[in-house]
Amino acid sequence: MPIGFHPSVEQYLETLYDLSEDGEIIIQARLAERLRHSAPTVSAVVKKLIQDGDITKSGRTIILTEQGLKRAQSVVRKHRLAERLLTDILGIEWYLVHEEAGLLEHVISDRVEQKIIEITGTPSTCPHGNPIPGLQGKRNTAEFRLIHGQEHKTYKLSRIGEILESDTQTLNLLYNWGITPSKNILLKSKTKSDDDTSQLLTVQTIKGINIINSKIAEQLWVI
């Protein structure tokens, strides 16, 4: 096991990276929510990350330092490469690999990482469309959340947000409904839910017509 191996610290750096990738302002409460950790636990890890020089705080906002960003990118790269290995080489369906990759990412050495890059043909994104940092993987700046799409328009799914990646059940549904990275989605209509708290989107893919709620539609990035 590599020296300085701290899964929880790495998990925090990874989450900070994912949140900034989705353009979210990062505050401690958001970290607690995402990681499902208690406020005191989050406070303790945040304190350690500040001491180690991985993050700074501006008011309540948490910012990754250059060192922290590098460490975060390394964990995220290993995670997304592990997902590629699991889908492309081992043949596991894309809706199942996120959790497994979460275990592997902490034990992949630089040598093994290099081998995975070679064997998977230097991929630029994970199987869910999220760019692999350091491998020319860049976010498409034209992409937006499907929830903001217009009725009767067809979009291409560019990526599934990391927050949804850990929800295997929903991913399984999306898979069955043909809502797959790089495939087209026709947004047929948008209506308010019965209790008026969210929107329901009727979408059509090659697998048929289905209805998704706004929580899911917020995590589907399209172009």
Binding residues for Zn ion, rule: CB under 5 A, are: 83, 126, 128, 130
- Taking 3-state DSSP, the helix, strand and coil percentages for the chain, each rounded to the nearest 5, stand at 45, 20, 35
Nearer to Zn ion, 102 or 178 (CB): 102
Shortest Å, Cβ 79 to Zn ion: 7
Return the ∠ at Cα 82 (arms to 69 and 123), rounded to 5°: 80
Closer Cβ to Zn ion, 92 or 200, answer by number? 92
Residue nearest to Zn ion (CB): 126
Tokens of 4: 């300085």
Please, what is the minimum distance in Å from the beta carbon of residue 159 to Zn ion?
8
Distance CA(115)–CA(121), nearest Å, equals 10
Cβ at position 160, least distance to Zn ion in Å: 7
- Nearest distance in Å: CB 84, Zn ion: 9
Query: What is the number of other CB atoms lying within 10 angstroms of the CB of residue 194?
Result: 8
3-state secondary structure of 68: helix
* Least distance CB 20 / Zn ion (angstroms): 16
113 three-class SS? helix
Number of other CB atoms surrounding residue 201 within 10 Å: 23
- The nearer residue to Zn ion, 22 or 52, going by C-beta atoms, is 22
Contact 180, 174 (CB under 8 A): yes
The residue (of 117 and 126) whose beta carbon lies closer to Zn ion is 126
Q: Scanning the structure block, which residue is given the tokens 């991985």?
A: 54
Q: Output 42 or 129, the one with its CB closest to Zn ion.
A: 129
